[in-house]
Structure 1
């Protein structure tokens, strides 16, 4: 018989419900390395004292139209920016510079500290690239770019340049995570979980927010995206046939519905 704890944990388990899930974790770093080797980029640009406080910045041909930010997921406790370089492809083809921030992971740091790191990374990258800023991120990264769209996280000058935020499969309410086994690493308490939950706040009014989720994702991720759309009064997009690991493939297609929501 499945215990109550196991049921709670299974609700937020992705890999166990995706066929050949391990192949994604193997394929992403290889594709990312090949992409970096073929593109003009500045790698491991430091924005802080921690070894993971660095970003990779990819440059399009010609003068950038602006800056696209992609924040990776991994439940705030796994993966690295170097696993995801190829997801900059769509933004580069649209003429944007694309930055992929790295950040320290739990349990070394708390989620609120990761939020601060992402804000510093975006601020540093924005100083290198002029023009409008578009934010997107996946899963935990979706949470982080939702946070970036809220008042008081970024400085007014940087926040004023943001025109879109597209949280992909975001965790928008962190309060349920307090009762999950993974919280042994996340170390969320009720106060931090509430403070870091985008659904309990509002976005800056000038930023167009569009949560996106795959139709084949776990029910709780469909809920989390819907909760954010409802709380913020924004449209959401549900991509048919996509699960938690392949929903981000649309970032590589400059003409995808996801990229149109992000860059217009």
Structure 2
């Protein structure tokens, strides 16, 4: 059975093509503003590749915590510079925000990306010390932050600081993607897909909130539910939101999603 349409957001969101340039413009505006205020540390290295870098945005006063946001794009698209604006809500709550890029499929595997985000989280945690850490990620990024909760993945001094993780519209079970054209780039086999699926990880000790938009494709509603059920996690279905605007609330300090993540 071909599941391409089930996992195709682009063709089911009105004016979908306008979102990426809109995001990039807003992100660039925030980068300029924070750069002028000496509150943006851009391109910090966590590895040796040109995409193994993250941006660190700083609040006006001493950081009360560190939010690490991991972007989506089906592991094949986008970078840290497309999402900077989503740090605004956390910054206004006096949290520092780190946003990593990572190498993209098909140049690397999904497992390679998981290892890179492990390094990114570890490095960012050592840039902003002695405060709690929260992880959020969207779509493929939701998968990646959920993978960080695998026992033994992160160093204990980093893992012990993570007290809340929010996979937003996550891909939690990669096995259905074996039957999509997306896998032409991901190159997963059944064993790899299972190994990289958070639904097969043990229930984590950290608090988890699985967030998804009510107007998303049924496949993404299923993916969110599967993870919430597997981990007995909080499960929020936000009314009126689809896959591309479910993250918009992160720009606001008092939105429902920001309050749930940082409140």
TM class by shorter-chain length?
over 0.9
Matched, 1:218 2:213: no
Match of 1:38 among 33, 45, 69: 33
- Measure, in 2, the Cα distance between the counterparts of 1:203 and 1:121: 23
- Measure, in 1, the Cα distance between the counterparts of 2:128 and 2:137: 19
1:62-211 aligned at under 5 Å gives the runs 62-130=61-129, 131-205=131-205, 207-211=206-210
- Aligned partner of residue 135 in structure 2, secondary structure: strand
- Contact 1:81/1:102 (CA < 8 Å) preserved in 2? yes
Deviations 1:56-75 (A, max 9, x none): 00000111011001100000
- Aligned partner of residue 97 in structure 2, secondary structure: strand
- Measure, in 2, the Cα distance between the counterparts of 1:51 and 1:153: 23
Give aligned pairs, total.
Answer: 258
Per the TM alignment, residue 256 of structure 1 is displaced from its structure 2 partner at its CA by 1.8
- Contact 1:68/1:134 (CA < 8 Å) preserved in 2? yes
- Measure, in 2, the Cα distance between the counterparts of 1:203 and 1:41: 35
Per the TM alignment, residue 210 of structure 1 is displaced from its structure 2 partner at its CA by 0.5
State the match for 2:49 in structure 1: 50
Per the TM alignment, residue 178 of structure 1 is displaced from its structure 2 partner at its CA by 1.2
- Aligned partner of residue 77 in structure 1, secondary structure: coil
- Measure, in 1, the Cα distance between the counterparts of 2:68 and 2:147: 13
- Measure, in 1, the Cα distance between the counterparts of 2:46 and 2:241: 34
State the match for 2:5 in structure 1: 10
Per the TM alignment, residue 203 of structure 1 is displaced from its structure 2 partner at its CA by 3.8
- Measure, in 1, the Cα distance between the counterparts of 2:115 and 2:184: 21
- Contact 1:211/1:225 (CA < 8 Å) preserved in 2? yes
- Measure, in 2, the Cα distance between the counterparts of 1:257 and 1:93: 15
Per the TM alignment, residue 202 of structure 1 is displaced from its structure 2 partner at its CA by 2.0
Which range is displaced more, 254-263 or 229-238?
A: 254-263
Structure 1 stretches of 4+ with a deviation exceeding 2 A read: none
- Measure, in 1, the Cα distance between the counterparts of 2:120 and 2:105: 18
Structure 2 segments unaligned to the other structure (5+ residues): none
State the match for 2:254 in structure 1: 255
- Aligned partner of residue 9 in structure 1, secondary structure: coil
Per the TM alignment, residue 181 of structure 1 is displaced from its structure 2 partner at its CA by 0.9
- Aligned partner of residue 5 in structure 2, secondary structure: helix
Against the structure 1 CA distance between its residues 169 and 98, is the aligned structure 2 distance closer, same or farther, given a 3 Å change threshold?
A: same
- Measure, in 1, the Cα distance between the counterparts of 2:78 and 2:70: 11
Per the TM alignment, residue 112 of structure 1 is displaced from its structure 2 partner at its CA by 0.7
- Measure, in 2, the Cα distance between the counterparts of 1:203 and 1:160: 15
Which range is displaced more, 145-154 or 59-68?
A: 145-154
Per the TM alignment, residue 174 of structure 1 is displaced from its structure 2 partner at its CA by 0.5
Deviations 1:154-203 (A, max 9, x none): 11110000000000000000011112111010011111110111111124
Structure 1 segments unaligned to the other structure (5+ residues): none
